[in-house]
Chains A and B, each alone.
Chain A
Amino acid sequence: MAISVDPPEINRRQRQKLGFTYTFLSDPNAEVIRRYDLLHAGAGPKGADIARPAEFLIDSTGTIRWVNLTENIAVRARPEQVLKAFDEMGERAAR
């Protein structure tokens, strides 16, 4: 699921426009973003505070199993990387 400071209306429109089926959450005051230490102050339009890009893979016990903190905001995790992390997660659980 995706989190940003965008309000639900924008998420609804973009989700429909781009055809995504997963959940988009709104964190307009960046509270959760701050809790995860992902705040990028002043980096948004008109100097708004936004999140820096990051991905977390969380297992069914709520434990974080994989983190991607990109150093370059144009470079994000590719689906293959996420799937690989997910597979490795399953392997460790099986042992």
Chain B
Amino acid sequence: MDLADGGNKIDMKRKWNWPIWVGFIITVGGLFSYEFFAQFPVTRDFPWANLLLFAAGGIFLVLGLFRAFGKPQLYRGKIFGPILAILGIGVFGFFSYLIFYQLRQVPPSTGAPRVGENAPEFTLPDQNEKPVALADLVSGSKAVLLIFYRGFW
């Protein structure tokens, strides 16, 4: 190394620390892929696919940090490494908050009709604005499955 040339020669010999970037991108992918994996009950009921992505992202980030601090003469990343790692932890924390806390904020519905009770009668318009009475559907079928859902949005 010729120090008279200044820092340029040393910088050019340091390699791009790709694990940090790959790790961060995978971590962000873990968050944004939720909508995709939520289409399948097996990955929606418990988001293990997303957690796997976060784990993979974390491993790459840690690998990158080891390189940046363990071999700083070979690899860059002592500044943006910790920054991206902290951002990655933030992304994971945000995901965990949404999935493990927010989604469980459901009202207790203690007054909902129970097994053995009569289903409260009602008449509501169907998708063609035609009024439909529960009693009519019930008398015409072996069973009726009533699905209350949040709506399309």
Q: Does B149 contact A (CB under 8 A)?
A: yes
Distance from B36 Cβ to chain A, minimum over Cβ atoms (Å)? 14
Distance from B46 Cβ to chain A, minimum over Cβ atoms (Å)? 8
Task: Report Cα–Cα, A76/B100, bound state, in Å.
Answer: 16
How many chain A residues sit at the interface, stated as a range, is: 35 or more
- B139 partner, pick from A54, A55, A56, A60, beta carbons under 8 A: A60
A44-82 Cβ-contact flags toward B at 8 Å (1 or 0): 110000111111111111111111011111111010001
A1-17 Cβ-contact flags toward B at 8 Å (1 or 0): 11111101011101100
Q: In the complex, what residues of B have CB within 8 A of residue A41's CB? A: 107
Q: Is A50 a contact partner of B115 (Cβ separation < 8 A)?
A: no
Q: Is B129 a contact partner of A64 (Cβ separation < 8 A)?
A: no
Q: How many residues of B contact A (CB 8 A)?
A: 48
Task: Report Cα–Cα, A34/B81, bound state, in Å.
Answer: 52
Q: Is A37 a contact partner of B145 (Cβ separation < 8 A)?
A: no
Task: Report Cα–Cα, A71/B107, bound state, in Å.
Answer: 9
Chain B interface, >50% SS class: loop
Count CB-based A-B contacts (< 8 Å): 176
Task: Report Cα–Cα, A70/B135, bound state, in Å.
Answer: 25
**Max chain B C-beta neighbours (<10 A), residue from A24, A43, A65:** A24
- B148 partner, pick from A15, A55, A75, beta carbons under 8 A: A55
Q: Other than the known A3-B148, A53-B148, A72-B106, what 14 A-B pairs have Cβ atoms closer than 8 Å?
A: A2-B147, A3-B147, A4-B148, A8-B125, A27-B124, A32-B120, A33-B148, A40-B150, A55-B148, A57-B145, A58-B146, A61-B138, A67-B115, A72-B104
Report which A residues bind B (CB closer than 8 A).
1-6, 8, 10-12, 14-15, 23-27, 31-33, 35-41, 43-45, 50-67, 69-76, 78, 82, 86, 89-90
